[in-house]
Amino acid sequence: MNATLHIVSMGPGDSAYLTPSADQALEAAQTVMGYRLYLDLLGQRMAGKRRVDFELGQERDRARAALAEAAAGVPTALVSSGDAGIYAMATLVFETIEQAYPTACPNVEVVPGISAMQLAAARAGAPLGHDFCAISLSDLLTPWAQIERRLRAAAEGDFVVALYNPVSRRRTWQLDQARDHLLAHRAPETPVVIARDLARADESVTHTTLEALNTYTVDMLTVVIVGNSQTRQFGGHIYTPRGYHTKESLLATDEHG
């Protein structure tokens, strides 16, 4: 009796980044659930579907309701912004399965999408062109000490760093501390991308430096990319070269496609 639950990534902003695979999953669904404003963005794709709107902050409710709908035999899509697998709904669905459906679980398929850091990177140039990491600065579910451990590791490893959830109304000091951890291992003039409200009418992508990065330069709709020791700013673009440049490496070809 179980139907399939598709966890569908919308990508950032409007549907310019919604893949054909995501479109198929929406088409197959009879019920579509998600944050109200995301469902609005789907426009004609919602025609003929049962629509279940949720408010921000009801992530656990969304996961439970979507699983219950699929368990009742209704093909269902749960919509997530960005990539559902990166700081979004997918993992919450699997947590809920383990807690609430330990034996007979609906079939779940995740459809990947463009995460905010990827569009931020594309707009700026290619800052994620070499090894990078993604760190959420939200300490609501992760102790700050663990987040600091990651920031220190990212700094010591010279990773390009994408910072998600840099601030919120209640979290106002985390970004400044993150900057200081990174400044301990990289130059004050390290290039930084600040991308806000991507793929929306109010999109802004600005460039700054690590020393100039602070809580007042971002808001809840922002993703931040901090370059590593090799990241360069040239001709209005920020990019991280593929390797650590030596005379040999500049002449070499490589294996990437």
User: Among 83, 81, 82, 54, which Cα is nearest to 66's?
Assistant: 54
Q: Counting contacts by CB under 8 A, is residue 220 touching its own copies?
A: yes
Question: Could you say which residues in the range 43-82 bind its own copies, by CB under 8 A?
Answer: 56-60, 80-82
Interface residue with its own copies, options 129, 166, 191, 227 (CB under 8 A): 129
Q: Counting contacts by CB under 8 A, is residue 32 touching its own copies?
A: no
Q: CA angle, 120 as apex, 63 and 44 as ends, to 5°? A: 50
Q: Give me the least distance between CB of 174 and its own copies, in Å please.
A: 12
Q: Counting contacts by CB under 8 A, is residue 11 touching its own copies?
A: yes
Question: Could you say which residues in the range 104-123 bind its own copies, by CB under 8 A?
Answer: 105, 108-115, 118-119, 121-123
Q: Counting contacts by CB under 8 A, is residue 41 touching its own copies?
A: no
160, 227 Cβ separation under 8 angstroms: yes
Between 10 and 74, CB nearer to its own copies: 10
Instruction: Return d(Cα 222, Cα 22) in angstroms, integer.
Output: 24
Instruction: Return d(Cα 66, Cα 61) in angstroms, integer.
Output: 8
Q: Counting contacts by CB under 8 A, is residue 19 touching its own copies?
A: yes
Q: Counting contacts by CB under 8 A, is residue 154 touching its own copies?
A: yes
Q: Compute how many residues bind its own copies; rule: CB under 8 A.
A: 95
